[in-house]
Amino acid sequence: MSAIVVLLQSLLICATSWFLWRFFRQIIVKSPLDNVPGPRPVSFWKGNLPEVYNQRGWRFYEKLADEYGSVVKLHGMFGHRMLHVHDPLALHSIIVKDQYVYEEAAWFVKSNELLLGNGLLSTMGDHHRKQRKLLNPVFSINHMRHMTPIFYNVTHRLESAIMSRVRDGPREVDILNWMGRTALELIGQGGLGYSFDPLVEDVPNALGDAIKAFMPTWGKLQIHRRLIPFIVQLGHPKFKRWVLDMIPDLRIQKMKYISDTIVQQSWQVFREKKAALEKGEEAVIHQIGEGKDLMSILMQANMNTNPGEKLPEEELVGQMSMLTLAAMDTTSSALSRTLHLLCQHPDVQDKLRAELMQARDGKDIPYDDLVHLPFLDAVCRETLRRYPPAAWIFRVATKDMIMPLSEPIRGVDGTMMHEIPVPKGTTIQVGIMGSNWNKAIWGEDAMEWKPERWLNPLPTAVDEARIPGVYSNLMTFLGGGRACIGFKFSQIEMKVVLSVLLTTFRFSLPKERIEWNMAGVAYPTTGDNPKACMLLTVEPLDNAQKTVVI
């Protein structure tokens, strides 16, 4: 007991000293960021973070762009000055040109490492580049083409599961739940060569259940997450583990249990795949995915690469955990949002259904035809532009920098600022929504959801802005060396699911209202129920396509 008391006293002294240093430093020391306009902080202790992380904070982000411009000063904890940036030239500096100066925030990287191991989201610098170099070929278009039949197989099971519930007539169905289950099974079979969920029946799965619980639990610990770097620097892993065990917070203990389950189950999946690969091709083709899944390809590539480029096994397992988490929630959110929008715009739903009906002609749409359907592509692009699933992306300047601007901003003192000195340690929120919603680039109708904008030439300002996003002039999947590596995978998932569901069912709004909430990944709620849920009314089409599997 005395050791615990001494440890707690030491932590209290360190925390108090750190707080006093941060407090007086922010008050006494002037910063070049003081001249950047921005909203007043909610409090010194939390700054603007309650607004940044507000579940219904959509208007706050609209206000940042409308009232303050392309670069906005925010306040973090204890008066820490932050920037919210959506100026195209500044974004190019942050995520492309100077990406190794503007690194991921330490709390983001260290918390990912603590919970999931050394995957893409928990490494930086040369370590991250080494992992990315091995992973990039795995997500090639050729591999996506080979995985399309896997996606259709999963989606037809989803189709059967929903049909069994609505065969006798229209019924409200929790589409978010089904999109989550489907997205997990898609990344399971296509990404890991592993089945989480047969969909046509309810079967418990420890790994699947833990992955589903990860984001909802982690979303409640955003402030705690910023203290993680102090825990990971405490020394030996067993000691760090002991410190976590002693924290009397049920949310943290639940998060720890979820993390342990994901890591343990991921190791089990990895060992099974490794054993199959070592036995040879005959064993591999009898596994789920038949060796065409991303993890089998990655493990095979790792076995064949130069010794100096090989990733250790714990890093391969880290990729499994992180890719599954990153793919599941973002895809299910994007699909749910798309179906909700199609309910709000039934004319668009009918137009899209007509295109898909013609393309299917009684069979699944082949990959090369699916990716070139113009209206399907327009609906997907516009949804990802107007409603990016993940909007909380941060970077930290690791040294003093000068941030260039494509257009000057007016400072608090009235002077025009053509560039902004950024002190070392400044946290920057990448303005994904601000860039996607920028009226100066996308036009006065930028806040409207209009798929048809993609069927005509985009405004010249879009090309001239040179937005550094990896996908379609959008910041939704970021850009540079830390762009979303799986954005092509996600696109095919969305298009396969929509092509099957919209030619089998009609979707309409439920009796109760649907509200979308900001989080690490946006999620909907229905009526007064605070839990993630999105009911839509679903009914079979009279002329539903009967697929001929080829």
d(CA 343, CA 339): 6
**Of residues 91, 102, 100, the one with CA closest to residue 132:** 100
Separation of alpha carbons 24 and 40, rounded Å = 19
* CB-side neighbour CA atoms (13 Å) of 392: 19
- Distance, in Å, from the CA atom of 26 to the CA atom of 426, rounded to the nearest integer, reads 12
Q: Does 484 carry a binding-site annotation?
A: yes
What is the Cα–Cα distance from 42 to 89, expressed in whole angstroms?
A: 30
Give the up-direction half-sphere exposure of residue 369: CA atoms within 13 A in the CB hemisphere. Answer: 12
Residue 508: count other Cβ atoms within 10 Å of its Cβ.
15
The DSSP-derived string for 60-110 is: HHHHIIIII-SEEEEE-GGG-EEEEE--HHHHHIIIIITTTTEEEPHHHHH
**What whole-number distance in Å separates Cα of residue 274 and Cα of residue 268?**
10
Q: What distance in Å separates the CA atoms of residue 380 and residue 401, rounded to the nearest whole number?
A: 37
Say which amino acid occupies 119.
Answer: G
Instruction: Give the separation between CA 190 and CA 232, rounded to whole angstroms.
Output: 33
Helix, strand, or coil here: 240?
Answer: helix
The two tokens of residue 513 are 């209202």
Structure tokens at 464: 């001239």
Sign of the Cα pseudo-torsion (211, 215, 217, 221, in order)? positive
CA distance 167 to 383: 29
- How many helical (H) and strand (E) elements, i.e. helices and strands, does the chain have? 23, 12
The pair of three-digit structure tokens given for residue 270, joined into one six-digit string: 């990895």
Could you give the count of Cα atoms lying within 13 Å of 27 in the half-sphere of its Cβ? 9
For the annotated binding site for heme, the residues are 484
For the annotated binding site, the residues are 484
